[in-house]
Structure 1
Amino acid sequence: MGKASVTIKEIARELNVSKSTVSRALRDSSEISEETKQRVLELARQLNYSPNPIALSLLNNRTHTLGIIVPDIANAFFSSAIAGVEDVAYSRGYHVMIYQSHESYERELIDARHIATRRADGLIVSIASSSQRYDHFKELQEKDIPVVFFDRVSDEVITHKVIVDDYKGAFEATEHLIKRGCRRIAHIAGPSGLSISQNRFNGYRDALNQYGLPLREEWVVYSEYNQAEGTERAYQLMALRERPDAIFAASDRIALGVHWALRQLGYRMPEDVALMGFSDLAISALLDPPLSSVAQPSFEMGQQAAELVLELIESKNTPVSYETRVLKTKLSIRKSSMKEIS
Structure 2
Amino acid sequence: MSNITIKEIAKALGLSVSSISKALNDSYEISDETKKRVVEYAKLNNYRPNRLAKSLKGGQSNTIGIVVCSINNIFVSQILDGIQKASYETDYDIVIMQSNEDVNREKESIEALLKKGVDGILLAPVSENSNTEYLADVNENICPIVLFDRFNLSLKTTKIGVNESKGIMQALQHLIRIDRKKILFITGDQFGEENSRINSYKKALKTLDIPFNPKFMLSCNLGNNDLIDQQISESIKNLMKSSIKPNAIFGATDVITIRTLGILAQMKIKVPDEIAVIGFSNFDMPNSLNPSLSTIRQPTQEIGFLALKKLINLLATQQHKRRALHETILLDTSIELRKSTNL
1: CA distance, partners of 2:157 / 2:128: 21
Equivalence for 1:329: 333
Equivalence for 1:183: 181
1: CA distance, partners of 2:54 / 2:123: 27
Equivalence for 1:74: 72
The one-letter amino acid paired with 2:290 is: D
User: How far is 1:2 from its partner?
Assistant: 7.0
2:61 to 50, 60, 63: 63
The 3-state SS of whatever aligns with 2:304 is helix
The 3-state SS of whatever aligns with 1:237 is helix
Equivalence for 1:307: 309
**Residue 281 in structure 1 maps to residue 258 in structure 2:** no
2: CA distance, partners of 1:316 / 1:58: 19
1:199-221 deviations in Å (ceiling 9; x for gaps): 22233323332332232221122
Maintained 8 Å contact 1:159/1:323: yes
The 3-state SS of whatever aligns with 2:180 is coil
Equivalence for 1:213: 210
1: CA distance, partners of 2:249 / 2:241: 14
The one-letter amino acid paired with 2:180 is: C
The one-letter amino acid paired with 1:301 is: I
Equivalence for 1:99: 97
1:249-269 deviations in Å (ceiling 9; x for gaps): 111311222212221222211
User: How far is 1:172 from its partner?
Assistant: 1.8
Maintained 8 Å contact 2:129/2:153: no
Maintained 8 Å contact 1:160/1:322: yes
1:261 to 260, 263, 273: 263
2: CA distance, partners of 1:123 / 1:129: 17
Equivalence for 2:114: 116
The 3-state SS of whatever aligns with 1:248 is strand
The one-letter amino acid paired with 2:76 is: F
1: CA distance, partners of 2:261 / 2:145: 37
The 3-state SS of whatever aligns with 1:331 is strand
1: CA distance, partners of 2:284 / 2:244: 33
CA 1:193–1:253 in 2, change beyond 3 Å: closer, same or farther?
closer
1:27-61 deviations in Å (ceiling 9; x for gaps): xxxxxxxxxxxxxxxxx97x7799x9977644431
User: How far is 1:130 from its partner?
Assistant: 9.2
CA 1:56–1:250 in 2, change beyond 3 Å: closer, same or farther?
closer
Segment drifting more, 72-81 vs 319-328: 319-328
> Structure 2 length as normaliser, TM-score?
0.78
2: CA distance, partners of 1:231 / 1:72: 23
> Structure 1 length as normaliser, TM-score?
0.79
Maintained 8 Å contact 1:77/1:279: yes
The one-letter amino acid paired with 2:84 is: E
The 3-state SS of whatever aligns with 2:195 is helix
User: How far is 1:3 from its partner?
Assistant: 4.1
CA 1:49–1:311 in 2, change beyond 3 Å: closer, same or farther?
farther
Maintained 8 Å contact 2:202/2:212: yes
Segment drifting more, 175-184 vs 224-233: 224-233
The one-letter amino acid paired with 1:298 is: T
User: How far is 1:170 from its partner?
Assistant: 1.7
Maintained 8 Å contact 1:280/1:332: no
User: How far is 1:94 from its partner?
Assistant: 0.9
1:1-342 maps to which residues of 2 (within 5 A)? 3=18, 57-129=55-127, 132-191=130-189, 193-194=191-192, 198-225=195-222, 227-228=228-229, 229-317=231-319, 318-319=321-322, 320-339=324-343
1: CA distance, partners of 2:91 / 2:325: 26
The 3-state SS of whatever aligns with 1:189 is strand
The 3-state SS of whatever aligns with 1:171 is helix
Maintained 8 Å contact 2:188/2:220: yes
Maintained 8 Å contact 2:64/2:93: yes
Q: Unaligned stretches of 5+ in structure 2?
A: 1-15, 33-48
User: How far is 1:158 from its partner?
Assistant: 0.8
2: CA distance, partners of 1:250 / 1:237: 19
Equivalence for 1:15: none
Q: Unaligned stretches of 5+ in structure 1?
A: 8-43
2: CA distance, partners of 1:141 / 1:241: 51
User: How far is 1:156 from its partner?
Assistant: 1.5
CA 1:84–1:194 in 2, change beyond 3 Å: closer, same or farther?
farther
2: CA distance, partners of 1:265 / 1:166: 30
CA 1:243–1:315 in 2, change beyond 3 Å: closer, same or farther?
same
User: How far is 1:321 from its partner?
Assistant: 4.1
The 3-state SS of whatever aligns with 2:335 is strand
Percent of aligned positions that are identical: 28
Maintained 8 Å contact 2:74/2:254: no
CA 1:98–1:194 in 2, change beyond 3 Å: closer, same or farther?
farther
The one-letter amino acid paired with 1:110 is: E
